[in-house]
């Protein structure tokens, strides 16, 4: 097959910038050195660009997981131009097609099915048919004047944010070259490839606790360097959630930023997936894998019946817990509290707590069953 034509602009950009970052940046450091202020500016630019992509380009605009104040949208638009990953309309269009046609080599712009190199950066270096520009799926974003402004002036904004602003800071600090090399060049290369790790690594290495219908995986180590984007299996299963890491211990600075800004009115209408739906997805996949193990290990029918019973019990308990949870949250709503007596409120609260305890016990029973099955597998080989 004839290879797709080379995109020479991108080929030169993504070849020369890493080459300079690997040679010029350390050589300047050896001969002239970098001070703490210059490294601090580098770090600030890294975080600003990274969160503009994860909180802005990704969760705000691509998935509409929450709404943001115009001031915040403007800052994210500037940070995205600084990240040099294209304008919002193009980025969001590619990403929405990625989710809609994930792993489809002909329609997913950065399908992991075409290998690590392609999904990481190769898709940018040639004019592939799967990556052909088409913003027909972002008509909702065209209503935002900030995004239309960024789209029209993207090249100018990219030059200002990547060269002009670092140079100005360096001039004020009396070392333009050092600041340009760190906050401009080195930051640009690292921040770009950190984002691209989600397209490549997060679709190849990690766990799949919620769905195996796509290649996306949860990778806690990757989350550490991608501002929380590493919980990618969850994200593909529940892409409308403003969170990627849903547990309190999950490293997800993007989630914390969005949530924190809601307290000062800069973000609102934060969308979260129903916890029952999340737990049900986990349960269904665990049950599917357990049945496959039973077939592989040829376990007795009595054991299979035990597995089936625990599965059905936990599924029913999840359903009841969700009903009681909804009732309790409705009662807690200020708008509805006047409709209930204090006795009714206490009764609904106690019923919810009782169901919470029952779910905890039932989940422990289910985990014991899964552990027993894992022990059988170890014993078998």
Cα→Cα distances 149→73, 142, 359, Å:
12, 10, 51
Helix (H) or strand (E) holding 268: strand 267-268
Contact 226, 194 (CB under 8 A): yes
Torsion angles phi and psi, residue 34, rounded to 5: -120, 140
Contact 219, 228 (CB under 8 A): no
Task: Compute the CA torsion angle 222, 275, 76, 136 (nearest 10 deg).
Answer: 100
Q: Is 230 helix (H, G, I), strand (E, B) or coil?
A: coil
Residue-level pLDDT at 337: 59
Whole-angstrom Cα distance, residue 1 to residue 115?
17
Hey, how many other C-beta atoms are within 10 angstroms of the C-beta on 356? Answer: 14
Whole-angstrom Cα distance, residue 208 to residue 228?
16
Contact 198, 229 (CB under 8 A): yes
DSSP string of 63-128? T--SEE-HHHHHHHHHHHHHHTS--HHHHHHHHHHHHHTTT-TTT-TT-GGG-HHIIIIIHHHB--
pLDDT tens by residue, the chain, 381 residues: 478 999 999 999 999 999 999 999 999 999 999 999 999 999 999 999 999 999 999 999 999 999 999 999 999 999 999 999 999 999 999 999 999 999 999 999 999 999 999 999 999 999 999 999 999 999 999 999 999 999 999 999 999 999 999 999 999 999 999 999 999 999 999 999 999 999 999 999 999 999 999 999 999 999 999 999 999 999 999 999 999 999 999 999 999 999 999 999 999 999 999 999 999 999 999 999 999 999 888 888 888 899 999 999 999 999 999 999 988 887 777 655 566 667 777 888 888 899 999 999 999 999 999 998 888 888 776
Q: Residues with Cβ < 8 Å from 143, sequence gap 6 or more?
A: none
Structure tokens at 2: 């004839």
Cα→Cα distances 312→107, 295, 316, 319, 373, Å:
38, 19, 6, 11, 17
The domains of the chain are located at: 8-268, 275-380
Any alpha helices (H) in the chain, and if so which ranges?
Answer: 8-31, 36-51, 70-83, 88-100, 116-117, 123-125, 145-152, 154-159, 165-173, 176-179, 187-200, 220-225, 232-237, 253-262, 275-297, 301-332, 334-337, 342-380
370 Cα distance to chain centroid: 29
Contact 223, 229 (CB under 8 A): yes
286 Cα distance to chain centroid: 23
Residues constituting the chain: 381
CA neighbor of 231 nearest in space, from 200, 213, 258, 207: 207
Whole-angstrom Cα distance, residue 130 to residue 82?
26
Residue-level pLDDT at 380: 74
Whole-angstrom Cα distance, residue 21 to residue 180?
11
Contact 189, 17 (CB under 8 A): yes
Q: Residues with Cβ < 8 Å from 195, sequence gap 6 or more?
A: 50, 53, 83, 85, 226
- Do the strands 67-68 and 267-268 form a parallel or antiparallel pair, or are they unpaired? antiparallel
Residue-level pLDDT at 336: 59
């Amino acid at each position: 097959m004839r290879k797709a034509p080379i995109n020479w602009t991108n080929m030169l950009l993504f070849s020369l910038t890493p080459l300079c970052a690997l040679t010029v940046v350390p050589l300047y450091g050896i001969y002239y050195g970098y001070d703490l202020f210059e490294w601090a500016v580098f770090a600030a630019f890294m975080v600003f660009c990274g969160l503009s992509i994860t909180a802005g380009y990704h969760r705000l605009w691509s998935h509409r997981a929450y709404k943001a104040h115009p001031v915040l949208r403007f800052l994210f638009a500037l940070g995205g131009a600084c990240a040099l990953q294209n304008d919002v309309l193009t980025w969001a269009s590619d990403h929405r097609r990625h989710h809609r046609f994930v792993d489809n080599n002909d329609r997913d712009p950065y399908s992991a099915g075409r290998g690590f190199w392609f999904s990481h950066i190769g898709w940018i270096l040639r004019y592939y048919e799967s990556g052909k520009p088409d913003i027909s799926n972002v008509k909702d974003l065209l209503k935002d004047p900030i995004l239309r402004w960024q789209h029209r002036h993207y090249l100018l904004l990219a030059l200002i944010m990547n060269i002009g602003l670092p140079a100005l800071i360096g001039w004020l600090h009396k070392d333009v070259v050092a600041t340009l090399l760190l906050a401009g060049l080195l930051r640009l290369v690292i921040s770009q490839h950190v984002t691209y790790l989600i397209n490549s690594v997060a679709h190849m290495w990690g766990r799949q606790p919620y769905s195996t219908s796509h290649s996306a995986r949860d990778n806690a180590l990757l989350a550490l360097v991608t501002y929380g984007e590493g919980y990618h299996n969850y994200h593909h299963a529940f892409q409308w959630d403003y969170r990627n890491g849903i547990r309190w211990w999950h490293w997800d600075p993007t989630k914390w930023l969005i949530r924190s800004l809601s307290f000062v009115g800069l973000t609102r209408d934060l969308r979260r997936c129903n916890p029952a739906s999340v737990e049900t997805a986990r349960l269904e996949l665990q049950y599917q894998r357990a049945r496959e193990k039973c077939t592989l290990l040829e376990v007795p029918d009595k054991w299979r019946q035990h597995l089936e019973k625990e599965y059905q019990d936990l599924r029913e308990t999840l359903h009841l817990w969700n009903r009681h949870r909804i009732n309790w949250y409705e009662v807690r709503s200020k708008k509805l509290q006047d409709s209930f007596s204090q006795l009714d409120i206490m009764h609904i609260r106690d019923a919810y707590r009782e169901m919470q305890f029952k779910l905890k016990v039932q989940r422990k029973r289910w985990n014991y069953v899964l552990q027993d099955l894992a022990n059988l597998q170890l014993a078998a080989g």
